[in-house]
Structure 1
Amino acid sequence: MNKNIINIERKFRPEIEGLRIVAALLVAIYHIWFGKVSGGVDVFFVVSGFLITTSIISTINKTGEFKFWPYISKLMKRLFPLAFIIITVILVLSIFFLPLTIFDKTLKEAISSMFYYQNWQLAISNTDYLDANQMKSPLEHYWAMSIQGQFYIIWFILFTCILFGIKKYNLSNGRRLVNLVLGFIFVVSFAYSIYLTKVNQPLAYFITFTRVWEFALGGLLCINLSRIKIPNIAAEIIGWIGLIGLILTGALFDVSTMFPGYIAAWPMTCALLIILSGNKETKYGVKNFLAMPIMIKLGGVSFGIYLWHWVLLSFYKYNISENPGIISGILIIALSIVLSFITTKYIEAPIRNAKSNKVAFKKIGLIALVNILLIAGLYTQNAYLKTADNKELASKDYPGALAVKMKGKLKEMDPKPGFANVFDDLPQSHLDDTNQGLKKSDLKIGTYGKKKDYKATIALVGSSHSEHWLGAVIEAAKENDYRVINITRSGTRFSTGYEDNTLKGQWVKNLENYLKKSDDIDLVLSHVTAADTTKDRIQQQMVDELMKVKNEYGINVLAIRDIPRYEFNVSEELEKSGEKETIKMMNKANNQKDESYWKKLLENEKDLATFDPTEYFKINGEYRPIIGNIVIYRDMDHMTNTYSKTFGPILSEKIKNIVKK
């Protein structure tokens, strides 16, 4: 058997080091000043695929074998020290500077980041309609690290199988087998990425299988790069095209909502062109720029720059300003570079170059232990804050919506729920999982209130903007011995506006059939406007659906106007900026775009019972984040369950009058 089991050309590619720092700086620049994603992470993935494939094949060619522990221990010594020490810094800073509204989220992501599954956690939370708008944690960028770690395991399994096949069948051309395997993975993963991005982009963005093709492309480059011959002039042209195209990726595409489908081929192609151009030594090629000593040096710490910039940016946004200026942004990048050099030199390099694995892993284990202890301590502290906040509310001190019409001045108390609890102050249906998520169209039915000998049945139907009224309806039911059923689906209005062949359309049809067949429902409640749109068609489709329930199924209905919505997370802004500043922001916002339609509805739908809650979100004509000592919003457009419950007496009279008719 030839010594080189898989023939490749292995040489130092200085332009790849330069490409890494360009990718890292693009990520930072787009994050800081544009609040966008740049495509730089995708370039990191293709470069990682190139470098690790080169390393694996070189090991196989040199030793004739490929063992797990030497391979994985080398990677752990390279990746863990920096990743773990930055988690330590984040946890310590969190004690003093992290908003309580995202404390739970950050602690969960600290654990998932340490164990390299954070991308899957984010995939789940970003496909949860009620989680999607929560503030990003200072660890959110570790999703790319998690995918990279999983990729390294996949590549070990892959090349172990390839080496086994080469030896078993005494193959003389290992390169052909590697090309075949990596080519197959590239095609399958790319096709799946295109498909899943179309049907569920938030899930596709974070999961491993839609990203493997990017690593496979790097591997294919490693195998075939030396065989690709191009003229000098072509090398010069395509290199600069690749660099300019890469820089413009974030400006040309909305990466966070369009990737990683076929659009992700753009930065991949740009990286491919840059690396191909590096095959030639030319006078004006992009390689001359990327291979400059300063670029190579910065490329060596690009991993640290990627990790540090998001941490600094996050805490800046939490505590100083949501939008960094030119000077502050430059300082964030500069400090990221300085911290990366320091932590690489004094933490990562000594561990990576330790005389023995025992010494290296003893130090890594110590950092990991500190992190675990910090996480345990912070969980305990947060649990205490939540328990202290869960004491029974005294109605006279915490009237919530009822305070709007109270006479006399209300004694000011610490608002409830506290910031540690506000995000998780959800309707009961969401807590016991009777709200249907986004993946299925079948009905989930939650039953509340009086379940035997009840006087009437009230059905709450529609999207999460109906669901957040569940607390109010349950409280109203207590006063009147009603049964309450909740049939809601996140992100899905009870509307005639969906195609029957979609999941949303199928769910609405299933709900219609349920109501049509039911002989035990006395009232259906649903929101009938969407405060984030001026489109009368959307509003009318919800009204049409309720009128169908009333006229065709013979069930009473109550049409509820949507609550004011905002383009910022109200509870997070309240914690960051204080009540006065949040009130200013709320009253500057165009938060009820359904105003004109609601007026038309009241004029033209005389036989439709309606409820407009808008007045209960204002004091003296001014929108407020806290009313009656209760925090109103859990995010940008959903009520806290605590505030919803205070509508109980208000809705009780409304419901009673309709049910009696």
Structure 2
Amino acid sequence: MIITTEATPASPPHAPGAGPAPGFRPELEGLRALAVLMVVVYHVWLDRVSGGVDIFLMISAFLLTLSFVRRVESGRPLDLGRHWLHRFKRLLPAAAVTILGTLGATWLLLPASRWTEIIDQAWASLLYVQNWLLASRSVDYYAAEHATSSPLQHFWSLSIQGQVFLLWPLVLAGGAWLASRSGLRYRSVLWVAFGAVFAGSLAFSVHSTATHQAFAYFDSRARLWEFAVGSLLALALPHLRLARSLRVALGWLGLAAMLACGLLVPVDRAFPGAVALWPILAAALVMVAGQTGSRAGADRVLSCAPLVRVGRLSYALYLVHWPILVIVLAVSGEDRPGFLVGLAIIAVSLAAAWLVTHGVESPLRRARWTEARRWRMALVVVACLAVVAVPLAGAQGVLQARAEAQQQATAADHPGATALREGYTGAPEGPAIPLATELRSQWVSLGTPCAGDYAPRADVLVAGCGQTAPLADPERLVVVVGDSHAEQWMGALVPVAEQEGWQLVSVLEGGCAFGSPDDPAQPEHCREWLDAALAYVLDLAPDAVFTMATAAAPDSPDERLVHGYAAVAAALTDAGIEVIGVRDNPRFTFDMYACVEDAGAEQCAVPLDQALAPVNPAADLGLDGFHAIDLTDRLCPEGTCQPVIGNVHVYLDHNHLTADYAATMAPDLRERLLASTGWRR
């Protein structure tokens, strides 16, 4: 968010007798206060987008542009190096304290399964690339429950702002250079530059929001137009000559529209597209109204002392409120706080923001010695980076050492499904695997994009195609098709393929069960992919397709065939392609791994009759060339779905198998698959 401790510039001149006197603009502090309070209240109780973050981004560019234009027009040197050092010297101390505090709370209060993710996000937050980390993981900011969200996720907006604080001075300095060389007016050059940024970024934002909103939300390119509005407003204000009565009306209209955004209209899935113009233009109206000097003006409310005080805390309040909220919910296990708990969270956040502002940010800002020399400003920046980087690196070292020690354990200590085989007499010891900090490595990938004979044709654009190393003369060509539930079984299938000399190819897309594209339950993006995946398989004509045949329900034994699966399987078998239909694993309403961390394995077991249908729904599909594979007895031995079997965690979350456990089922998968298909060499 924007630095809140710098004095806001004076209002630009208006008509004689109507403009504000030059000096501090308290209504901008009040505007900041309302924006951050909107963010906090919406996060705590409403779980919706408020538009407050977008207002902050716009105001930051407004103030930055005003500062540079005044400097250029007064003939003072820009000195970009000093500007950047000054800017990040102001930003980093409070951010570093927040990251350190969040890491400490994570270590003490959150389960170990969260540590690796939060450490990665701490690095990204410290280095101002958090938005790109979240975008690359296509995080759905709105759908995630706060209790399982990252306590550093909110640094995405700070990262975008930090990137713009590097970019915008280059544009402003470049405009000054071009104006001096061409004889053009500096402001005219900036009008063209920021107008182009506004038009291009807004068009990109509208398109990317419509096609991949989860990525676009964190994409800096889709947010640049919001900064451009602030810069254009800074350039336009000196030319506005509005009557006081009109400015009073604009102030109240802007304030009402700003507070209504996200409350009256559900804008969550539309940000940051054109709908984000609403809060930004609303705030712009308030800024255009400026200091009206009228007792009826909105600026009179915005300039009141309590709002001004909160405005000065707004940066720190934004920083601290989200980690406090997320950690409270994670500890309590609630999805959303009640009214009283929410009030307590806000009160604690305000107190923490006051301490950060007056205990860290303001003292460093007021210390004149830090501004006297560049190296002193650089020293503060480096110290803030180091005070977070050193413990982060240390924590990563500790976790890496634990992982390496675990890797030294013998297979006998972690037999997994092998412990269920007849005649097993082992006694595994030590902690169960995988470690909580290694869960992200529990996904199996074939590693190499499809190429050569396995590359999709140009007219069959199927995403997610991978293969094992090409074999000169494979015994079988098997294609794994489907969603993450098909992907997880590759942990067991890859060892079988290596043993039997099969070539494996995978065509996978998260959330897209391999069935009918007409299934209304399929996500929109899956429909085109399913058509392309089926076309690819028919064109490749493998010996067999490995798929998930059923889909379990997380809260009941209502297990069914994947919608349209029978028709797709029939199309494949009619083409001479055998189909291996694996029964789905149980799914749960709670995170099985986290349950074991919190309560122990015995407390997390679920009866089989509450998780899956009494009989495999795919058992009697009645198609020649279809083979139903059911390994339920290796997931739920003796009628109970166990979270840990043979000293190996079965599940990594609510419904996905760990690769470690899947690998221990390879012998069982091989025996049942070969017996059903008759593919014995």
Smaller-chain TM-score bracket: 0.7 to 0.9
- One of 420, 441, 453 as aligned partner of 2:462: 441
* 2:585 is the counterpart of 1:563: yes
> Residue 165 of structure 1: SS of its match in structure 2?
helix
Q: Secondary structure at the match of 2:330?
A: helix
In the alignment, which residue of structure 1 is the partner of 2:483? 463
Deviation digits for residues 351-371 of structure 1 (CA, Å, limit 9, x no counterpart): 222222444443442332222
Matches within 5 A, 1:29-178: 29-126=41-138, 135-171=148-184, 173-178=185-190
Contact 2:551 2:559 in 1 (8 A): no
2:466 partner amino acid: I
Counterpart AA for 1:300: R
Shift of 1:215: 0.8
Could you report, residue by residue, the CA deviation over 1:543-582 in whole angstroms, capped at 9, with x for unpaired residues?
322221111x201112223334456544345435655665
2:250 is the alignment partner of 1:273 = no
Q: Give the match for residue 549 of structure 1.
A: 572
Q: Quick one: distance in 1 between partners of 2:450 and 2:114?
A: 25
Q: Which runs of 5+ in 1 are unaligned?
A: 1-6
Q: Following TM superposition, by how much is the alpha carbon of 1:530 offset from its aligned partner in structure 2, in angstroms?
A: 4.3
SS at match of 1:63: coil
Change (3 A) 1:168 1:379: same
Contact 2:148 2:326 in 1 (8 A): no
| Larger CA deviation: 294-303 vs 325-334 | 325-334
Q: Deviations over 1:397-436 (max 9, x none)?
A: 533486499999997863321211123211142x667799
The secondary structure found in structure 2 opposite 1:324 is: coil
Give the share of equivalent positions with the same residue, in percent: 27
CA contact (8 A) 1:536 1:597 kept: no
* 2:441 maps to amino acid: D
Match of 2:384 among 359, 367, 370: 367
SS at match of 1:540: coil
Match of 1:3 in 2: none
Which residue, 339, 347, 350 being the options, matches 1:334? 347
8 Å contact kept, 2:50–2:261: yes
SS at match of 1:206: coil
- Counterpart Cα distance in 1 of 2:124 and 2:576: 51
Distance 1:181-1:496 versus aligned 2 partners, 3 A rule: same
Instruction: Say if 2:235 is the partner of 1:213.
Output: no
TM superposition shift of 1:240: 3.9
The answer to whether the aligner puts 1:610 opposite 2:628 as a matched pair is: yes
1:308 match: 320
Task: Choose from 663, 668, 673 the match for 1:650.
Answer: 668
Q: 2:7 maps to which residue?
A: none
1:494 and 2:514 are equivalent in the alignment? yes
Following superposition, the deviation at residue 164 of structure 1 comes to 1.7
AA matched with 2:653: D
1:460 alignment partner, SS class: strand
Question: What displacement does 1:230 show?
Answer: 4.9
Counterpart among 645, 650, 658 of residue 632 in structure 1: 650
Task: Give the deviation of 1:52 after TM superposition.
Answer: 1.2
Q: Closer, same or farther in 2 for the Cα pair 1:573/1:177, shift >3 Å?
A: farther
8 Å contact kept, 1:189–1:209: yes
Q: Please tell me whether the aligned partners of residues 236 and 285 of structure 1 are also in contact (alpha carbons under 8 angstroms).
A: yes
CA shift for structure 1 position 589: 13
Say which is worse superposed, 509-518 or 270-279, in terms of deviation.
509-518
2:585–2:655 CA contact under 8 A, matched in 1: yes
Cα–Cα, structure 1 residues 525 and 175, in superposed 2: closer, same or farther, change >3 Å? same
Unpaired runs of 5+ residues, structure 2, are 1-10, 14-21
Distance 2:310 2:144 in 1: 35
Contact 1:479 1:652 in 2 (8 A): no
Calculate the aligned-residue CA RMSD, in Å.
4.0
In structure 1, C-alpha distance between the alignment counterparts of 2:461 and 2:136, rounded to whole Å: 15
**Cα distance in 2 for residues equivalent to 1:567 and 1:318:** 16
The SS at the match of 1:461 is strand
CA distance in 1, matches of 2:256, 2:637: 53
The one-letter code sitting in structure 2 at the alignment partner of 1:446 is Q
CA contact (8 A) 1:99 1:318 kept: no
- Contact residue 493 and residue 542 of structure 1 kept, 8 A: no
CA contact (8 A) 1:423 1:635 kept: no
Say whether the 8 Å CA contact 2:550–2:560 is kept in structure 1. no
Instruction: Tell me how far 1:214 sits from its aligned partner.
Output: 0.6
| Counterpart Cα distance in 2 of 1:398 and 1:628 | 5
Aligned pairs, how many? 641
Q: Match for residue 4 of structure 1? A: none
* Match for residue 189 of structure 1 among 165, 177, 201: 201
CA contact (8 A) 1:246 1:271 kept: yes
- In 2, are the aligned partners of 1:564 and 1:591 still within 8 Å (CA)? yes
Shift of 1:445: 3.2
Whichever residue aligns with residue 286 of structure 1, its letter is A
Pair 362,177 (structure 1): closer, same or farther in 2 beyond 3 Å = closer
1:235 and 1:605 mapped to 2: Cα distance?
76
- Tell me how far 1:209 sits from its aligned partner: 0.9
Alpha-carbon distance in 2 for matches of 1:102, 1:485:
32
| SS of residue in 2 equivalent to 1:459 | strand
Contact 1:401 / 1:616 at 8 angstroms: preserved in 2?
no
How many angstroms apart in 1 are the aligned matches of 2:67 and 2:463? 49
Deviation at 1:466, TM superposition (A): 0.9
Quick one: structure 1 residues 360 and 334, their matched pair in 2 at CA, closer, same or farther if it must change by over 3 Å?
farther
Distance 2:559 2:640 in 1: 26
Q: Which amino acid aligns with 1:571?
A: Y
* 2: CA distance, partners of 1:537 / 1:446: 30
Secondary structure in 2 aligned to 1:649?
helix
Q: Do the aligned partners of residues 190 and 405 (structure 1) sit closer, same or farther apart at CA in structure 2, a change above 3 Å counting? A: farther
- SS of the equivalent of 2:562 reads helix
Paired with 2:252 and 2:426, the residues of 1 have a C-alpha distance of 68
Question: SS at 1:633's partner residue?
Answer: coil
- Provide, for residues 362-407 of structure 1, a one-character-per-residue CA deviation record: whole Å limited to 9, x for no partner: 3442332222211111110110122233345646853348649999
2:440 to 415, 423, 435: 423
Task: After TM superposition, list the pairs within 5 Å mapping 1:507-586 onto structure 2.
Answer: 508=530, 511-512=533-534, 514-518=536-540, 521-531=542-552, 539-551=562-574, 553-566=575-588, 569-576=591-598, 579=601
1:296 is aligned to 308
Q: Residues 459-502 of structure 1, C-alpha deviation per residue, up to 9 Å, x if partnerless?
A: 32222221111012234446655444433334444344179xx9
The alpha-carbon deviation at position 511 of structure 1 amounts to 4.5
Q: Please give the alpha-carbon distance, in whole angstroms, between the structure 2 residues aligned to 1:589 and 1:49.
A: 59
CA distance in 2, matches of 1:93, 1:351: 25
- After the TM superposition, which of the residue ranges 540-549 and 490-499 deviates more from structure 2? 490-499
User: Is residue 131–residue 219 contact of structure 2 (8 Å, CA) maintained in 1?
Assistant: yes
Cα distance in 1 between the residues matched to 2:181 and 2:156: 38
* Structure-1 separation of matches of 2:144 and 2:449: 17
Matches within 5 A, 1:589-608: 599=617, 605=622, 607=624, 608=626
Deviation digits for residues 506-526 of structure 1 (CA, Å, limit 9, x no counterpart): 65566445544556x432111
Distance 1:345 1:581 in 2: 47
State the TM-score, normalizing by the size of structure 2: 0.82
CA distance in 2, matches of 1:228, 1:399: 73
Question: What SS does structure 2 have at the residue aligned with 1:200?
Answer: helix
TM-score, length of structure 1 as denominator length:
0.85
Summarize the Cα distance change of 1:402–1:488 in structure 2 as closer, same or farther, 3 Å threshold: farther
Match of residue 406, structure 2, among 376, 386, 389: 389
Distance 1:192 1:288 in 2: 38
